[in-house]
Each structure stands twice: as C-alpha cells, then as structure tokens.
Amino acid sequence: MRELCTGKIFIIMETNRELRLFVTLFVGGSAFLLVFIGVLFSFLDPELFREVYVQEDGFIENLTFLALLGISVLMFGRFLRLRNEKGKWFKLMLFLMGALALFGAGEEISWGQRILSTESPEFFLKHNAQGETNVHNMLVNEHKVNKIIFSKLLFIAVALYLLVFPLAYKRSAAFANVIDQLLGIPIPRAYQIGAFVGILLMTNVVTEGKGAELLEFGSCMVFLLIFLFPKNEAVYTSAKCQAAIEQEKKAAYVARRYVFNSTVKGV
C-alpha cells in the first residue's frame, strides 16, 4: 500500500509520534532559543545585534527565508498530491498559500539581488527606500509599503487567523466544514498560538529598532509549525495516503500486541 502513495514522508510523519515530536521541538525550540539569544544581544551588545545578528542577508534573515520557502514547498506539494481529489477552491487556496509564502521568501532576500550582485532597475532605485528590487520597501507618498501593508494590515490578519479562526472552527460546524472541505485553510493548535504570543512578548522588549526582524523570524518558524501540523491536518491526506496510514497504524498495533503477548508469556 505504501507504494501507492507518492507522499511517503507524510505517512511516516503521521504514524511516527517520535518524529513528529522531534520536528515540533526542533522547529519551535530553535525559534525560541534564537529569539531569546537575539533579545539578550540587543541589551548586552547592541552593535553585535544590529550589525551581525539581524543584519541584511545575515543569519536570522536567511533562516526566515528558509522557513518561508519550507511553507511554500509544503503547500505546493499538497497541491500536487491532492490535485485530483479536491475541489477547485481547495486547490486554489493551496496554490495561493504556496505562492504567498514563495513571494515572502523572495522578498526576504530581495529576490537574490545581493546574492547575485545585480543592480536594481531604475524604477526601484527611484521608488524603493533602500534602492532594492523588492516590494516591501517601496515608497507610497513617502511612506513605506512595509509599514502600511506588511505591518499594520498583516498584524490584523494574523490576529484574526490565530484568535478568531480557531475559536470559530471549534464552535461552528458550518465554519469548520467550509475550512476543511471548501478552502483547506490550516487551523493552528493551542500550543502554536501560545508559541506565537511568547515570541511576540519577547521581541516586544527589544529597543534597538530591529525587534521586527526577530519577530518576523519567530513568526515564520511558528507558521511553519502550523502548516506542518495544523489541527485539521487530516484534510491534506490523499485517499491513497489515508489507506496507507491506516495500514501502517494497524501494523504498528499488531506489532505492539505481539511484543506485549510475548512478554506476558515469557513472564
């Protein structure tokens, strides 16, 4: 049955609790640890914090890029696996979530401009606050698009997603049905919401003007966890994978019973 399922990694992730726990602790623990270290640096050595830890194309920014890229690959992978099973709106949302994460990843590294050492087109030199090839630093009436859209509006959208969606999903069967069957939007778990709040509180004490970089990194890591292990993750399992998962669980149960019975007989 395993051979029938193209997403073998999802079978392993679904049936192996130890692996799921390891991935959760690795991603979440890394996010908390690196944010905490950044907060300490912001107080103990502000110059090191600004010029090294959260600098452009630095360690934290590259990890943020990888987190967003990971979300993009995950959602595009689900889109491909479920393209023959789900409705058009479900597939459209998967594609849009993958595209949005890919856009964020590209913006994070200015679409590879500094890596490739390319010059910005004249339009961006004139209308971008940093003269870079990206959208979030564009100027509109002397105001950064980043502050207008990617800060205020995005913060409202994230607040609604993390607070309103989980509550409505739990309280309303109709809402849950729309989310699971029509749109396929991942719903965050309680510990993931708590992780986001914890990171938000930690980065809020940074006074060096770069706390937003830490918050951006921590948020992307938490969202990677949400998209990996949402409360409604079963909606992303294809029929073939589901059959394989059930067989894997049954085989694991039989194996455990065999070990238990052998132990009892031995006693």
Instruction: Choose among 2, 4, 26: nearest CA to 12.
Output: 2
Q: pTM of the prediction?
A: 0.82
Asked if residue 201 belongs to a domain, the reply is yes
CA distances from 83 to 32, 94, 103, 181 (A): 36, 10, 22, 14
Six token digits for residue 35? 């944010």
Per-residue confidence (pLDDT) for residue 2, from 0 to 100? 41
Q: Is residue 113 part of a domain?
A: no
Q: Could you tell me if residue 192 is inside a domain?
A: yes
Compute the distance between CA of residue 261 and CA of residue 70 in angstroms, rounded to an integer: 43
Looking at the domain assignment, is residue 79 inside a domain?
yes
pLDDT band at 17 (very low <50, low <70, confident <90, very high): confident
Looking at the 3D structure of the chain, how many domains does it have?
1
**Predicted local distance difference test score (pLDDT) of residue 19:** 84
Q: Is the CB of residue 128 less than 8 Å from the CB of residue 138?
A: yes
Is the pLDDT assigned to residue 176 strictly greater than 60?
yes
Please report the pLDDT score of residue 3 as a whole number.
40
Among 19, 27, 112, which Cα is nearest to 63's? 27
Assigned domain for 97 exists: yes
pLDDT at 252: 64
Domain limits for position 171: 9-107+166-261
The pLDDT value given to residue 127: 66
Looking at the domain assignment, is residue 144 inside a domain?
A: no
**Is a pLDDT exceeding 70 seen at residue 253?**
no
Determine the average pLDDT of the residues in 16-23.
84
Percentage of the residues of the chain whose pLDDT score is greater than 90: 52
Instruction: Report the 3 state secondary structure along 160-218.
Output: HHHHHHHHHHHHCHHHHHHHHHHHCCCCCCHHHHHHHHHHHHHHCCCCCCCHHHHHHHH
pLDDT for residue 161 is more than 80: yes
* Residue range 198-215, pLDDT digits in tens: 999 999 999 777 788 899
In a domain, 121, yes or no: no
pLDDT of residue 207: 79
pLDDT of 93-111, one tens digit each? 999 999 999 999 988 887 7
